[in-house]
């Protein structure tokens, strides 16, 4: 072992240190009892301490308290006291160790950390990276970890899978596997952990608090409900929490659970109705659920919107399950596709592009889409590559939305009137043609007039679909007011002449609050895979 010198510390006293070793030995102190140190770790620590080449990450550890040899070893506790955040702490510790490594000495520097050097030790990861960049040799001497000390207390086989996470980590938690949360050293940290876990588990879910695991005479455990986790003052740096897993169907906040439910419904012994459904039979439900969500959105019904978005998600999972059974794609593919697209089309967030305004974002979005179209092959999944700029606008869109989208596309290449005057003149022309049309031509001429009115909406920055929906909503409210007036008077509709109805209508306009439907910036999020201009957010 390169650490062992040929001479003892006593024989080298008073002599000039031989060289710069360009090496660091990282030793694990175990969970907190000197008896749990490995023989190799104990020998290295003893030698390094005698040679003055031992440094501790922290003295706040039972092994340090119980081993007199470590009483005079320096530590980095002062950095914890002075730094404003953990990132600074870890950086400063690594910098200090690198300085020590560069000093001439009889033996390599030994850096001792609690537990196992490779488990829950952020400074070790950073130190190894820094040493690799500088060509410094790193030797890891294992120690028993807090996992070894806690494992006998758990009713699980760690080899079957346990998620180990630092209390301050932002790691995603899977509630269907056991979870160990370490280093819950204060009530403040416990509150953070509780809130994180509460997004996955019921408030009454049992959690086991383990303190001083592996420390003779000090280890203690207790089980509390999740909501009680931060209700005690005796939490310290040796506190770990064990969270038992939820049954798969009980993890109701996880998207994967919905996919599991749908797979079960579609199984041979599942629900007959669900098993009979196809992409085609579900088409109307996807459309209905989308419109129901829009209705809740327009009404400002937040709780209703939450429910309707769940129904839309169900349709997504339903179609994904059917596709999975057909061997075409699955729910994971759907998620991967949209994640990749969002990252790819936001180079100003995930790449090197710069976009500080909404217009710049839209320009980036369009540039990325063009690049995607240009790189497309002649066929993709059996479907010919798009030839027209309008092909990306779904034909199944509502007519007003489809009209506005294709007009937007055409205008991008200059196929548009230079100003609004041309649009207004076209409206007059279409209205005249409608009055002159015969029965066979009337439907076509009405459509042309609508199409031109949509163009006017676009030029005014008004969403035609939302605008007409707003008019329909206002009509509903005003007509309801008229109905109430008629009912109050106790008369039959047929007895009312046009003048009376007109007066009631004017009263209704004054009595009902007018709701303003504004055209929102569509942004870059588009409805189809290749992108139409329909707002979906």
Cα dist from 330 to 269, 318, 320, 343, whole Å: 21, 10, 5, 20
Query: What are the tokens at 273?
Result: 């109705």
Residue 25 φ/ψ region, left for φ over 0, alpha for ψ in the -120 to 50 degree band, beta for the rest = beta
Token pair 């008896």 in the structure block, residue: 35
Q: What is the DSSP string of 397-456?
A: S-HHHHHHHHHHHHHHTT-S-SSHHHHHHHHHHHHHHHHH--HHHHHHHHHHHHHHHHHH
Q: What are the pLDDT tens digits along the chain (537 aa)?
A: 445 443 344 444 444 556 888 999 999 999 988 888 989 999 999 999 999 999 999 999 999 988 998 988 999 999 999 988 889 999 999 999 999 999 999 899 999 999 999 998 999 999 999 999 999 999 999 999 989 999 988 888 888 889 999 888 877 889 999 999 998 989 999 999 999 999 999 999 999 999 998 888 889 999 999 999 999 888 988 899 999 999 999 999 999 999 999 999 999 999 999 999 999 999 999 989 998 998 899 889 999 999 999 999 999 999 999 999 999 999 999 999 999 999 999 999 998 888 889 888 888 887 887 777 766 655 555 555 666 778 778 888 888 889 999 998 888 888 888 999 999 999 999 999 999 999 899 999 999 999 999 999 999 999 998 899 889 889 988 999 999 989 998 899 989 899 999 999 999 998 876 544 344 444 444 333 334 343 322
3-state helix, strand, coil in the chain (%, to 5): 50, 10, 40
Query: What are the tokens at 132?
Result: 């690799």
Q: Compute the distance between CA of residue 260 and CA of residue 26 in angstroms, rounded to an integer.
A: 45
Query: What are the tokens at 268?
Result: 């041979």
Cα dist from 195 to 228, 339, 454, whole Å: 11, 26, 49
């Amino acid at each position: 072992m390169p650490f062992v010198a040929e001479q003892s510390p006593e024989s080298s006293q008073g002599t000039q240190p031989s060289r710069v070793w360009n090496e660091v030995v990282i030793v694990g102190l175990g969970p907190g009892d000197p008896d749990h140190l490995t023989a190799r770790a104990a020998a290295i620590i003893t030698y390094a301490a005698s040679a003055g080449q031992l440094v501790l990450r922290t003295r706040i550890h039972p092994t340090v308290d119980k081993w007199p040899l470590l009483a005079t070893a320096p530590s980095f506790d002062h950095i914890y006291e002075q730094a404003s955040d953990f990132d600074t702490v870890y950086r400063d510790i690594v910098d200090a160790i690198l300085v020590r490594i560069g000093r001439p000495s009889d033996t390599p520097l030994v850096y001792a950390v609690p537990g196992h050097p490779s488990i829950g030790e952020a400074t070790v990861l950073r130190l190894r990276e820094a040493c690799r960049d500088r060509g410094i040799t790193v030797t890891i001497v294992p120690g028993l970890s807090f996992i070894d000390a806690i494992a006998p207390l758990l009713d699980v086989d760690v080899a079957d899978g346990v998620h180990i996470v630092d209390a301050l980590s932002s790691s995603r938690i899977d509630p269907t596997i056991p979870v160990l949360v370490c280093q819950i050293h204060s009530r403040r940290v416990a509150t953070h952990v509780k809130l994180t876990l509460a997004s996955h588990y019921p408030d009454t879910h049992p959690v086991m608090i383990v303190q001083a695991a592996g420390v003779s005479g000090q280890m203690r455990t207790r089980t509390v409900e999740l909501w009680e986790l931060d209700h005690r003052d005796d939490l310290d740096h040796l506190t770990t929490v064990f969270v038992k897993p939820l049954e798969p169907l009980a993890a109701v906040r996880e998207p994967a659970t919905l996919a599991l439910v749908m797979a079960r419904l579609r199984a041979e012994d599942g629900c007959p109705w669900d098993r009979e459904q196809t992409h085609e039979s579900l088409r109307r439900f996807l459309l209905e659920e989308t419109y129901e969500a829009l209705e809740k959105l327009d009404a400002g019904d937040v709780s209703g919107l939450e429910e309707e978005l769940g129904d839309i998600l169900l349709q997504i999972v339903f179609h994904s399950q059917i596709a999975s059974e057909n061997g075409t794609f699955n729910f994971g593919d759907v998620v991967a596709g949209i994640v990749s697209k969002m990252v790819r089309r936001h180079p100003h967030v995930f790449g090197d592009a710069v976009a500080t305004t909404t217009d710049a974002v839209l320009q980036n979005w369009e540039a990325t889409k063009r690049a995607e179209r240009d790189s497309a092959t002649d066929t993709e999944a059996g479907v010919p590559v798009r030839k027209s700029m309008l092909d990306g606008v779904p034909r199944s869109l509502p007519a007003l939305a489809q009209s506005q989208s294709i007009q937007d596309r055409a205008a991008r290449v200059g196929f548009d009137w230079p100003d609004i005057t041309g649009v207004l003149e076209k409206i007059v022309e279409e209205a005249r043609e409608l009055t002159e049309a015969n029965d066979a031509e009337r439907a076509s001429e009405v459509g042309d007039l609508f199409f031109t009115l949509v163009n006017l909406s676009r030029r005014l920055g008004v969403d035609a679909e939302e605008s007409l929906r707003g008019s329909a909503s206002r009509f509903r409210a005003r007509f309801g007011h008229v109905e109430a007036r008629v009912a109050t008077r106790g008369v039959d509709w047929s007895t009312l002449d046009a003048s009376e109805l007109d007066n009631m209508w004017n009263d209704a306009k004054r009595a009902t609050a007018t709701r303003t439907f504004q055209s929102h910036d569509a942004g870059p999020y588009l409805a189809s895979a290749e992108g139409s201009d329909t707002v979906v957010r």
